[in-house]
Amino acid sequence: MEPIVTISNGAIRGHTENGVTRFLGVPYAAAPVGAKRFQLPEPAPAWPGVREATAWGATCAQSPYPAPIHALIGSDGIPGDDYLNANVWTPDPTATGLPVLVWIHGGAFVRGSNARAIYDGTAFARDGVVMVSINYRLGISGFAALDGAPLNRGLHDQIFALRWVRENIAAFGGDPGNVTVFGESAGGMSVAALIAAPQTTGLFRRAIMQSGNGSVAANAEDARTVAAALAAELGITPTATDFGALGPDQLRAAQNAIALAVMTDPDPQRWGTSVIERGLGIMSLFPVIDDDIVPGLPTDVLAAHPDRAVPLIAGTTADEFRFFTVPTGIAAAVTAETLPFVLARYGIDAAVAQTYSAQRPDATPAEIFNAILTDWCFRSGTVEFAEANAAAAPTHVYEFAWPTDLPGLGACHVLEVPFVFDVLAGAHSITGPTPPQSLATEIHTAWVRFATDGDPGWAAFDSATKKARIFDAPRSSTVADPRAAELDALRRATTRA
């Protein structure tokens, strides 16, 4: 007989296989449809009898990734209204006091879901951790700045989900007092925002920020400029009432059109400086400063409120930006002649390329461009957030350096995820056919150790030595302040809005 547990909304039936029990598609909040699409999350209604929790739940409406990115990681799209759901993997629902990991997926705040094979929590449960993965509102539904709607609805969903975990995780064998929140890309940026938010005290003990940035939040005025453009695209006013009357297909079409407009015409005079610079050149809908859960840029808020710091792992991959430029052909268009112009698009002084070229004498202009944008979009904002956190709590920094077997991608964005989850067999579309299992074992074990007792197994980061763990195969190492000259030159060459 399959296991049944009782949570706040009723009883659910999961499925056990090879000693791990999973419960899929469990609603943690009411379906955000109709008038609720643009309001704060509410509790899911109770259900009679036993609800089956053996199939993936719905995902927030979204467009597929462009074909080159889809080929690497696939796309998401399970229809249904109850997409504010969670998946739970546990080694034993009758246990007590197990450590808990809560995963927040990436996707630039407009794509992604918790129903991906590379987010399968089986290996974490196998190793004694209860793992939860959550969905949240994306794109217009989650982050458009509309009149008559609270800002940052997607982040409110994440906080609501963490409260659901605190209330219900004991039913799955987990310890509500030993929760670690972790996420990648937009999920990593969300983790930074959650650490800095005043409303999350007591919801998690530790955090892991993968490929994130602590300086991602638009000014409200600029976010409303984007919302006005979305409304104009649809022929409506930028209000929750008008947007709420539309269906998912209309919202997707407008969202895609404006995202393309922002990327092809990144004019701060048109969109607002904070959208262009803090959106990292690839996002148009993302968290907004609201004097509530996002009172400022997370790094700045944390520096001003060190009491909000928690034990933290924070890191990036070595070649993040190749994920966005190599498969799409953008990198191939970067030459010595065009490099200064493409850097200027991001507000980066082209002189910084001299430092990167000196450190990488054999690199092509495209490789220099990707190295600079990797640091500008991810590494710089991660190190700055780690510095703020390390002033008050144990902090560990890493870089994932193993390059995929796929040509030109290097250690690109997303690549570390299947290693963290120890699911290499199902990730060859991005890892290539021969990923090193020893590296997956190493990094996965470090995450389990950190979730259990806060010690991932390498030296802590501090402002003096800035030690970082370089995950690589055949051997990882811990080094002090990797590529400091490049990061220092980049900071001098840029000014964030």
Single out the catalytic residue among 277, 320, 367, 399.
320
Query: Could you please report the per-residue DSSP string of 296-335?
Result: S-HHHHHHH-GGG---EEEEEETTTTHHHHTTTTTGGG--
Residue 208 predicted with pLDDT over 80: yes
Decide if 489 is inside a domain. Answer: yes
Question: Is 369 within 8 Å of 331 (Cβ atoms)?
Answer: yes
Report the C-alpha gap between 102 and 72 in whole angstroms. 24
At 132, the pLDDT band (50, 70, 90 cuts) reads very high
Residue 437 predicted with pLDDT over 60: yes
Decide if 422 is inside a domain. Answer: yes
Single out the catalytic residue among 105, 156, 396, 413.
413
Mean pLDDT of 83-100: 97
Q: Is 75 a catalytic residue?
A: no
Burial group, residue 452, by CB count within 10 angstroms (0-12, 13-18, 19+):
middle
Structural domain of 425:
311-493
Residue 495 predicted with pLDDT over 70: no
Question: Is 322 within 8 Å of 404 (Cβ atoms)?
Answer: no
Q: What is the pLDDT of residue 1?
A: 64
Decide if 46 is inside a domain. Answer: no
Mean pLDDT of 32-39: 90
Residue 493 predicted with pLDDT over 90: no
Helices (H), 88-171: 122-126, 139-143, 153-168
How would you label 152-191 residue by residue, b for 16+ Cβ within 10 Å and e otherwise? bbbbbbbbbbbbbbbebbbbbbbbbebbbbbbbbbbbbbb
Q: Is 486 a catalytic residue?
A: no
Residue 242 predicted with pLDDT over 50: yes
Decide if 361 is inside a domain. Answer: yes
Domain count across the chain: 1
Mean predicted lDDT score pLDDT of the chain? 95
Single out the catalytic residue among 75, 185, 190, 380.
185
Percent of the chain having pLDDT more than 90? 91
Residue 497 predicted with pLDDT over 60: no
Burial group, residue 330, by CB count within 10 angstroms (0-12, 13-18, 19+):
middle
Amino acid, res. 213: N
Decide if 262 is inside a domain. Answer: no
Decide if 117 is inside a domain. Answer: no
Q: What is the domain-level CATH number for residue 325?
A: 3.40.50.1820
Which has the minimum average pLDDT: 152-156, 222-226, 336-340, 343-347? Answer: 343-347
What confidence tens digit (pLDDT) does each residue in 399-433 have? 999 999 999 999 999 999 999 999 999 999 999 99
Mean pLDDT of 157-175: 98
Element (H, E) at 449: helix 437-453
Longest CA span, the chain: 67
Decide if 424 is inside a domain. Answer: yes
Report the C-alpha gap between 56 and 494 in whole angstroms. 43
Q: Is 70 a catalytic residue?
A: no
Decide if 356 is inside a domain. Answer: yes
